[in-house]
Every structure is written in structure tokens, then in C-alpha cells.
Amino acid sequence: MFDYVIVGAGSAGCVLANRLSEDPDVRVLLLEAGPPDTLENIHVPLGYLQLARTEVDWDYNSAPEPECGGRRIPLPRGKVLGGSSSINAMVYIRGNRRDYDEWGVAGWSWADLMPYFLKAEDNERGASEWHGAGGPLPVSEGRSQNLIARAFVDAGEQAGLARNDDFNGDQQDGVGMYQVTQRGGMRASAAVAYLHPAMERPNLTVLPYMHVQRVLMDGTRAIGVRASQLGQEQDFNAEREVILCGGSYNSPQLLMLSGIGPAEHLTMREIEVLLDQPAVGENLSDHAAAYAVWTTPEPQSLLLALEPEALEEFETSQTGPFTSNLAEAGGFARVGAEAPAPDVQFHVAPVHIVDEGMSDPQAHGIWVSPCLLTPNSRGTVRLASSDPTAKPIVHNAFYSQGDDMQRMIAGMRLTMDICAQPALRPYCAEPFTTPDGSSDEALRAHIATTTYAVYHPVGTCRMGEDAGAVVDDQLRVNGTEGLRVVDASVIPTVPRGNTNAPTIAVAERAADLIRGGGQTAPPAESAAAAAVAGAER
């Protein structure tokens, strides 16, 4: 018997395991389907390129995407302690204050969440009105500082964008180098930051290789979970709460496997309906992105990691190519008519990417990718069958609604403009994967063949105060007792930026809600108060 059973050791699950077990009188169980985070490629930043389709990746794919030529788009998700924070590109972005204010959910505005961003953060720049110091999550400058990535920033300025040295400061617009969740040139996943420091606590139990099959219910009250390890089923009881932290694909999947979801769909999958909740698995939102690739004769790309000197540099000083998070540089721009905040983000990798990364680089090069920050399109997550080991069916429905494609075309056009500037000409020397012309038709065709998901899915267990929400403003599953969802799936709309930092902030606030019995006030920190008062993006 445990007080809390947490399902999923991803970013949110690691935060909750740490925060809830701070109370020595509380017994916490954390279950993770994947292994411990012992692989060297998890911790050496550039090593994450070797983790896709391994035992630490759920290795999902989308259903065929109609607006993307019917392609099935890869959807990697972390299946390991740390979850996707153990296999992601480590970019630290909070998003824009408008994202949170527009959720319209009491207690979840920018002013409510900003203190939790600061509480979590340990930024090497030190504490300020915009940054925290001393929190669990290390945030650092990138140590690779590749010349090609820095040239993108110069080219962005030449194209008319502002230089921005802090995308998490008073302005989000502009181009610059990303800060990353690293410490000393090594990955700082949520497991490294939150879970490992807490694992010696006697009241915290962490069980890897434990695939949860469903939530155990007594009527409408969650009383535990059933899990399988090496084919052996086990039940774990929760005296207070079961907390799902499986992410935007696995949390709705687990709710549906437990009989909570769209009744007609569950009936078709031969699952007994406990609670007809049509919104479970709806409202999927992710950042669709496309890309362009050039080769260069300049020997400056991340292929330098293949040289013996690069390994020697990493081993002696934790700098150089092995510390690269791949997407070292980027920026935020507005392409939509009268956009009130950025609606396109750039990720720039100083490497020649071939066949969507499925083939080896053939030369030095650069990959530049615009993504649509504020999509109108919404997708779904559905069950393939009642078998818990079956992968969920994910329909992203990219570019299916509103002006998403028109704004993506504008983002690609801006990409081509930036890459034509003098600062990037030496590195964009020969087109490799680029649009076949500058017309809308040519750009649309290029986007259809190069679109991928930026791995920022949210919304499938949306929080809200309306009848269509899956969880309430305390993240409790509507119509149940003792059951919450705490992960990116509760976020109503995808934020303007990478989603790891927002997920951690959501979990930090959720921990206070859980410990406070449902009501809490954000921590009173002077830096937080100053940030909230002055935050105009």
C-alpha cells in the first residue's frame, strides 16, 4: 500500500516523485515502463542521436497524414527514467505569457506559473527578475557554440530579425543561441535533476520495467493500478491517489484502457465503459515543422565529432561537438497577419541531415527548420485494441484547419530568406533538400514531404472549467475520485516553444495542489513577483 502511485517517470513524474516524497510520512511509488537511465548516450548530449528506436524509445508513429502526402510521421517518446527529457534536444524555453493567460483556467495564468518556472530553475546566469538559481533543474549556455549555428544568428539579423540573448526574458522575438538543460556539458534530464537526488529516501519506491495496464477502480474511485513486469501481473494500491504522468499519448491511452473515454470507441474495442468521457484523447496539438538542408565545403559542422580531437576535448573540458544539443541556435518570428506574439520558431542544427536522419551525413552542412507555434489543427489519440501493449493510434491532422498551411509557407519563405543572407552563404553553399522554387505551390509541396512533429504533443487530457475538459483546474479527472493527470496532456493548447520546461512547471504547481489538498498559493519569491509585474512579451 502506498499513499500515491505515480505512473510514468517522465518530466512530470520525476518532479512529483521528488516533491511528494519530501514529506517523510508519505509513501510514494513511481512506476516506469522503461529501464533506468544508465546508457551513456543519454547523458552525453550529442549521444541522444543514437537513442531513437532503441529500448528507451516508445517508437510511435502517426497514422497517415493526409496533408503530408499520406506519410506516417515518427513520434519518438522516452521510455526510460526521465522520459522524453532523457532523449530530447534539451532546449529550455518557457513559452510566451499569452499562452498561459489564454488558457483561461483559474490558477494557471502566467502570473500563477511564473513562480514555478523560477522555483524549478538553476540558471548559470544567476538569479534575476527572469531567472531562478538554486532550483533542481540546471539551465546553461550551450558549450558547443558551433560556428554555423552562430552564423544563423548573424544571418537572422541581416534578414531583419532582432538579436535575442534570452528567449525567456522580457521579449521572445528574435534570433539567438538556445540555453539548454545541461550541467557541466552533460544532459540534465528530469531524472538527473529531480529523481536521482530523492531515490535514497526510504519512503520513495521506484520500479522500472513496469508497464501499467490499467487503473484499478472501486466504482468511480481510483484505488491502484495493475502493471506487468516480464509478463507477471502485479497490483499496486493507492490509499490517496493514482497520478497519471504518461504524457499526451500514454495518459489518454491508459484512461481508455481503464474504461474512461468515448463510450462508442471503448465499446468497439470491447472495453467496459466506466465513464463516458468523449474528450479523452481529443484536442491533440503539436508543433508541425518542415526543414531545408544545404551542404558546405567548410569543415565546421558536427561531423567534427568524428575526429579524435573532439572526444579528447570533451573528456578534458566537457566542451566541443559532444556537448551539442543539435538544435544549438534558433529564434522566434511573426508571420501571420497581426500576430500578437511569435507564431513561428526556428531550430537550427549544424549538420547535414539525410533522409530525415535515417541515413548518414554525406558532407558538412546545415539543417534549418521552421515550426508552426500556434496551430489551429487538432488531432486525436485512440486505442488500436484493448491490449495494453498495442501502440496507440495518433492522428495529428497537421495543416487540416484554418490558415496553418499558409503560415507554414510563410515560415518556410522566411527560412529561405535567412539562409540567403551573407552570413550563411558559405554554409548554405549547395542545396540538398530545399524547395523546388519560391511559389506557394513549390513551398507547399516541400512542406508536405519534409513535415515532422517537433515532439511537443499536448492537450489530450485537457484541463478546464467547462464540460468538455478531461481534468478540472486541480488536474483531477472529472467524474472520478482519487485520480489525477499531471503531464503535458493537461495543457489546453501547445505553448509557443519547447514543452519540457512548461511540463516541469505544471508538475511543480501540481505537487503543491496535491500536498495542499487542492488549494495553494504560488511561492512568494521577490524575483517571481518582479517577473510577473514586469512580464510584457
Show pLDDT as tens, one digit a residue, over the chain (537 residues). Answer: 999 999 999 999 999 999 999 999 999 999 999 999 999 999 999 999 999 999 999 999 999 999 999 999 999 999 999 999 999 999 999 999 999 999 999 999 999 999 999 999 999 999 999 999 999 999 999 999 999 999 999 999 999 999 999 999 999 999 999 999 999 999 999 999 999 999 999 999 999 999 999 999 999 999 999 999 989 999 999 999 999 999 999 999 999 999 999 999 999 999 999 999 999 999 999 999 999 999 999 999 999 999 999 999 999 999 999 999 999 999 999 999 999 999 999 999 999 999 888 788 999 999 999 999 999 999 999 999 999 999 999 999 999 999 999 999 999 999 999 999 999 999 999 999 999 999 999 999 999 999 999 999 999 999 999 988 999 999 999 999 999 999 999 999 999 999 999 999 999 999 999 998 544 444 444 344 434 333 333
Residue 7 C-alpha from the chain's centroid: 18
Phi, psi of 152 (to 5 degrees): -60, -40
Cα distances (Å, whole numbers) of residue 441 to 64, 405, 406, 413, 437: 21, 11, 11, 12, 9
CB 215 within 8 A of CB 254: yes
> Exposed e or buried b for every residue in 490-502, given b needs 16+ CB within 10 A?
bbbbbbbbbbbbb
Mean residue pLDDT across the chain: 95
The answer to whether 35 and 9 have CB atoms below 8 angstroms apart is: no
Rounded to two decimals, the pTM is 0.96
Residue ranges covered by each domain of the chain? 143-177+288-374+399-450
pLDDT tens digit string along 207-242?
999 999 999 999 999 999 999 998 999 999 999 999
Query: What distance, in Å, lies between the first and last C-alpha atoms of the chain?
Result: 47
Provide the grid cell at 17: 516523485
**Which helix or strand (DSSP H or E) is residue 122 part of?**
strand 121-123
CA neighbours closer than 13 Å in the CB half-sphere of residue 211: 17
Instruction: Dump pLDDT digits (tens) for 251-270.
Output: 999 999 999 999 999 999 99
**CA-based nearest residue to 518, from 477, 483, 476:** 476
CATH class of 143-177+288-374+399-450: alpha beta
In this predicted structure, what is the pLDDT of residue 517? 56
Tens-digit pLDDT profile for residues 169-188: 999 999 999 999 999 999 99
The per-residue pLDDT for range 6-34, each reduced to its tens digit, is 999 999 999 999 999 999 999 999 999 99
Which residues are known catalytic residues? 456
